[in-house]
Structure 1
Amino acid sequence: MPTFITQGRLTREYVKGGLAKPEDRHAAISKLCEQAGGRLLSLHFTLGQYDFLLISEMPDAKAAALIALTATGGGGIEGSVTTQAFTTAETKDLYASAGKIVGSYKPMGAS
């Protein structure tokens, strides 16, 4: 299954809820990933521009989008960004495939 990396910010409501009743969210997020047809690989809370980093395997990009939409709709996160990640072996295959067609591409205005 494809791997996806999701990052985002926690809402004020989420933080207030965590302060009032702290809990380990791994099981809840893992269940959410399973309901979307995938699995949670890793969940981290982070410093900097984003408050969390979630790495998951999902059947496709639509399933990955379900995670962000559900968490955003539930009021827990905002400003999420989801990126598909490729292994080094997958990247090698991408380069090999691109190498076969690179000569057929001409930029606009090129003869």
Structure 2
Amino acid sequence: MSDYTSDEYRQIANIIIQQLCGGGPRQLVKAIGACEIETLRPGLRFRFPDTATGINTVSIELTPMDFYRMEFGTLKRIDYTRVLVHDGLDSDQLTSVFESATGLTLA
């Protein structure tokens, strides 16, 4: 992936949030109680209350081929366990994959 500035990384993260829930970070917090939203290079990661499957963390990264990779996991204190990974996603698949994996509704 080419080099991006810090502002461009934040812009990518905000675009992902928009594609995921149709709003900004506040909408994500309101819809599912998201917290600890952080920018990745390039993408984002956030936590949310534990779901029935135990999943409470997701990272969404933009790949060099302009697809997305979503990794779902459980984070308890400092112990992280990867639960599920989806590669090669289009932007219009983010919401349905998230809702299917977590049982949470973003709308």
Using the size of structure 1 for normalisation, the TM-score is: 0.29
* Larger Rg over CA atoms: 1
Greater fraction of residues in strand: 2
Q: Which has the higher contact order (CA 8 A, sep 6+)?
A: 1
